[in-house]
Structures are given as structure tokens and as C-alpha cells.
């Protein structure tokens, strides 16, 4: 599965999958988050993201969101790789049942900064350490938080 809420990236992803004859990827036009519904989304040249406070900024649209728990409740799931431009903590919060029942391994891009200025890796390690035996953040150039049993 590939989740892509950005309309421009979604079109490009679908184009690249078709051009390379990739047929084993289901593209989902939604963002992973801690709730099912919609969220404010800001499209920027160097990265789009879900935002909490949309204010009067340009480039704001609404996108559909889904939790990992909801989307994968009837699907086998072994591992999850996330790089979702700062929404990683919210996505993990939306995976409580999945963590408890399916125990997937995780590889999460964790270089983004939270509103408090701390990297997402700090919070991700705390969240995942509650349920996993091994949680660590590696790769200084592109920090990634890993969790597995």
C-alpha cells in the first residue's frame, strides 16, 4: 500500500507505477493520521504536510485521513515504513489496536521537528517503547526510528 494525500504527488506516483508496470501496489489517496475524516493540508514546493492551524496561509486544502487501525483492521500487516512529513507521531497514535494485535515492525522517518522544537524521534521512541522490546533511532543524515519485537 502507498498512501499519498498530495494530489500532485498522487498523479506522479500513479504515473510512475504504470510506467514501470508495477501492479502489486495499491495506492490510497489519503493521509495516515490519528483520526478518520479530514485534515488541513498545506502543499509546498519542497514538501507537503498536514497542519493543525491553517490560518490564512495559501496552498491549504482539505484531504481525507485514515488511521492505520481502520485501514488495516482486516489486512495482514508485517511492517510499516513511514515518511509522512511530520505526521508520523499522529499515525502511530492511530495504530494502537494494530500494535496490540498485529505487532508490525516499524521504520519511521523521524527527522521532522515538533511544534516544541524537538525531533519526532524523541516522542516516537517513547510511544513505541511501551509495546516493543527494541526501539532505536539511527542514521544521523536521515534519522529513522525502528521498533520490533
What is this structure's pTM? 0.88
Q: What is the model's pLDDT at position 35?
A: 95
Q: What is the model's pLDDT at position 6?
A: 87
Cα gap 8→14, rounded to integer Å? 10
**Phi then psi for 70, rounded to 5 degrees?**
-70, -50
Q: What is the pLDDT of residues 78-111, one digit of tens each?
A: 999 999 888 999 999 999 999 999 999 999 999 9
Q: What is the model's pLDDT at position 53?
A: 58
Residue 30 DSSP label: S
SS (H, E, C) 34-82: CCCEEEEEECCCCCCEEECCCCCCCCEEEEEEECHHHHCCCCCCCEEEE
Q: In this model, does residue 58 exceed pLDDT 70?
A: no
Cα gap 43→58, rounded to integer Å? 9
Amino acid at each position: 500500500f502507498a498512501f499519498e494525500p498530495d494530489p500532485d504527488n498522487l498523479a506522479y506516483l500513479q504515473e510512475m507505477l504504470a510506467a514501470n508496470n508495477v501492479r502489486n501496489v495499491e495506492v490510497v489517496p489519503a493521509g495516515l493520521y490519528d483520526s478518520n475524516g479530514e485534515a488541513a493540508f498545506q502543499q509546498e514546493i519542497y514538501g507537503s504536510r498536514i497542519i493543525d492551524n491553517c490560518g490564512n496561509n495559501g496552498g491549504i486544502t482539505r484531504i481525507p485521513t485514515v488511521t492505520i487501525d481502520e485501514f488495516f483492521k482486516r489486512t495482514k500487516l508485517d511492517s510499516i515504513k513511514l515518511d509522512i512529513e511530520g505526521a508520523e507521531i499522529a499515525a502511530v497514535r492511530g495504530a494502537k489496536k494494530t500494535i496490540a494485535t498485529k505487532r508490525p515492525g516499524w521504520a519511521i522517518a523521524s527527522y521532522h521537528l515538533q511544534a516544541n522544537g524537538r525531533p519526532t524521534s524523541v516522542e516516537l521512541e517513547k510511544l513505541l517503547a511501551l509495546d516493543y522490546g527494541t526501539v532505536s533511532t539511527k542514521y544521523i543524515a536521515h534519522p529513522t526510528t525502528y521498533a520490533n519485537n
